[in-house]
Structure 1
Amino acid sequence: MSSTTATRVILVTGSNRGIGYGIVARLAREFLPTAGKEERLKIYVGSRDQQKGEDAIKSLQSELGKTLQANNTSLQTCQLDMSDVESRKNAIAYIVERDGGLHTVIQNAGVALDGFDAEVVRKTFETNFHNVVAFNNELLPILQENARIVILASMAGSLQGYSDEIIRRFRAASTTKEVETLADEYYKAVQKGDYKDKGWKGAAYGCSKACIIAYTRAFSNELRKSDDARLRSITINSCCPGYVNTGMTKGKGVLTLDQGAATPVMLALQDLNGRSGGYFKDEKEQNW
């Protein structure tokens, strides 16, 4: 992206509905140009289904009214199936062709499946963990200096209920490989049926989010140790949006989409003083 292009570019995955939709709307409302700059914001609405993404943009334009124009914000659909490697590559090429790169990615796409067995664990981790890790790696070449990665985790990623040894390993993981090893061990333990004996708990969604929080810390550590100054400047943080009323919570959530968007949008737009590797809830960094 040329230095003369004063456009901040943000991609929000899984944003044609639910919390992702709320994040896009709140980004548009809260965006303020950097002091002294004529800056614009462009938000890519990531959606597996192109038409649903376009429908979401129409709904957002109707909801936001003149806010988009007043805040120099534009919306663009980006077909993105996080489970499909080619779709991810095509989405990256699409963004590069139009804008040269990204300033922020908000990794929102995720699932919470009913039941608990090895297949539920496999599917949950594929979406909530492995695809997120893979996409971040694929995005690295197009992330601009001082870019931000924001990943939606969950309070379900709490370390309560694990053995002391598993908790120690989660907190001590300093490389993404160590976190991936933990995820693999969990899956194998569930397959064998001895996960409780090995210190794990029967919670596919919660464990996937614990891995995300640990991964955020580890990936931040790896970025800071990079020989590339651009990579060292990139920050990554995870957050819990709260118990939001969405399809994932089956309508039982107590927070609105806008309330759920507050913390991820804060991490995307506000001055964090270089903080990276943190886990946030209610717009504050949390102990984990």
Structure 2
Amino acid sequence: MSEQTIALVTGANKGIGYEIAAGLGALGASVGVGARDAERGEEAAAKLRANGADAFFVPLDVTDDESVAAAVALFGGRFGRLDVLVNNAGIAGAWPTAPSAATPAGLREVLDTNVIGVVRVTNAMLPLLRRSARPRIVNQSSHLSSLTLQTSPDVDFGDIDGVYMPSKTFLNAVTVQYAKELTGMKVNGCCPGYVATDFNDFHGHETPANGAKIAIRLATLGDDGPTGGLFDDAGTVPW
């Protein structure tokens, strides 16, 4: 990299987000470790630095306007731009919640992080992203978001869920619209696979490091790379 890449990963104090930050740091980027919990965020950033990454803690609650504005001010004051935004922060809510059991409050809580939080952070960071020569936005989605896979008779995702899964489908739709609007940027969604994290009580069969690979790849796309798509390590995931 002729000029150091400046990156922000939300929800980066643990799991897949931490590994995304680690991967970007290993490539030479200066990485902001976004996290709500200051102690965990500082610990994660310190661990990344001990492993050789240029990492720093960014206090960031994606559901809070003031917190997001403070993060924008931090990047603006320190770097004057942002090259990579990885919207990784997400919550599962009361998993699984059948549609007939979903409540407006439960749905709002998940959407506020998984969709509205992404819009809140992305829109706030756009002025800084527009100052980048190669801006990249990556939204953390899931195979569970795919309506094509959901309705395929050959695919069984197990539990029926009317909150988390639809929130990621909503995020996919938002990702497509951002890509159509922001023609000078690469905006994509990624599916990490069934990763062992506290999201699923560590029942997944993939490691967080493996789950982070596709986000890192999309965050570092060349100028001829795709935009407006959903991808996993094997390639394109159907919407």
With the shorter chain as reference, the TM-score category is 0.7 to 0.9
**Take 2:146 and 2:128, find their aligned partners in 1: how far apart are those partners?**
32
Contact 1:262 1:283 in 2 (8 A): no
* CA offsets 1:83-116 (integer angstroms, 9 cap, x no match): 1100000000011111111000000000001133
TM (normalized to structure 2)? 0.87
**Correspondence for 1:219:** 178
Gaps of 5+ in 2: 152-159
State which of 21, 24, 30 in structure 1 corresponds to 2:21. Answer: 24
**Correspondence for 2:155:** none
Contact 1:266 1:283 in 2 (8 A): no
Letter in 1 for 2:82: L
**Correspondence for 2:168:** 209
* CA offsets 1:140-170 (integer angstroms, 9 cap, x no match): 11111320000000011021557xxxxxxxx
* Residue 28 of structure 1, CA deviation: 2.5
Matches within 5 A, 1:125-164: 125-143=111-129, 144-160=132-148
| Alignment of 1:236 onto 2:195 | no
* Residue 202 of structure 1, CA deviation: 4.9
**Take 1:145 and 1:264, find their aligned partners in 2: how far apart are those partners?**
19
Letter in 2 for 1:95: F
Contact 2:62 2:120 in 1 (8 A): no
**Take 1:76 and 1:61, find their aligned partners in 2: how far apart are those partners?**
8
State which of 203, 206, 209 in structure 2 corresponds to 1:258. Answer: 209
**Secondary structure at the counterpart of residue 77 of structure 1:** strand
* Residue 283 of structure 1, CA deviation: 4.9
Runs of 4+ in 1 over 3 A off after TM superposition: none
Contact 1:83 1:131 in 2 (8 A): yes
* CA offsets 1:3-38 (integer angstroms, 9 cap, x no match): xx9221000001011110111122223x1xxxxxxx
**Take 1:141 and 1:58, find their aligned partners in 2: how far apart are those partners?**
28
Letter in 2 for 1:51: E
**Correspondence for 2:157:** none
Determine which structure has more spread, i.e. the larger CA radius of gyration. 1
TM (normalized to structure 1)? 0.72
* Residue 47 of structure 1, CA deviation: 1.0
State which of 82, 93, 106 in structure 2 corresponds to 1:120. Answer: 106
**Take 1:202 and 1:243, find their aligned partners in 2: how far apart are those partners?**
16
* CA offsets 1:177-232 (integer angstroms, 9 cap, x no match): xxxxxxxxxxxxxxxxxxxxxxxx852111010111111111111223xxxxxxxx
| Alignment of 1:97 onto 2:77 | yes
**Take 2:205 and 2:225, find their aligned partners in 1: how far apart are those partners?**
32
* Residue 272 of structure 1, CA deviation: 5.8
Matches within 5 A, 1:172-191: none
**Take 1:221 and 1:270, find their aligned partners in 2: how far apart are those partners?**
17
**Take 2:177 and 2:76, find their aligned partners in 1: how far apart are those partners?**
27
Contact 2:63 2:117 in 1 (8 A): yes
* Residue 118 of structure 1, CA deviation: 2.1
State which of 85, 88, 93 in structure 1 corresponds to 2:65. Answer: 85
Name the Cα RMSD after superposition. Answer: 1.8
Relative to structure 1, is the Cα distance of residues 257 and 202 closer, same or farther in structure 2, using a 3 angstrom cutoff?
closer
**Correspondence for 2:42:** 54
Letter in 2 for 1:21: Y
Contact 2:146 2:238 in 1 (8 A): no
Equivalent residues, number: 221
Relative to structure 1, is the Cα distance of residues 142 and 59 closer, same or farther in structure 2, using a 3 angstrom cutoff?
same
